[in-house]
Amino acid sequence: MAKYKVPITTYTAFRAATIGKCYNTDDSYGYQCYDGADLLWQQLKRSLSTGGTGKARYAWQDAKARAKNAGNDFEL
């Protein structure tokens, strides 16, 4: 997996650092929507789960993956 460092001090800082750029955090299938969410999770020292499916939608649709992604930090 590729690791990137972008600022997350504010939404504006994160947006400015990432808008118009491509990130491939999982080295699979090029630049996809999953990579944007995973990029933020990387900055938080976390891993974005897809419930073992490899499909971005399951990060939110799979109850176990969703709970893991939320942890104690987020309400998804």
Q: pLDDT tens digits for the chain (76 residues)?
A: 788 999 999 999 999 999 999 999 998 888 998 999 999 999 999 999 999 998 999 999 999 999 999 999 888 7
Closest by CA to 22, choosing from 11, 31, 34, is 31
CA–CA dist 14, 28 (Å, integer): 23
**Cα separation of 50 and 10, whole Å?**
26
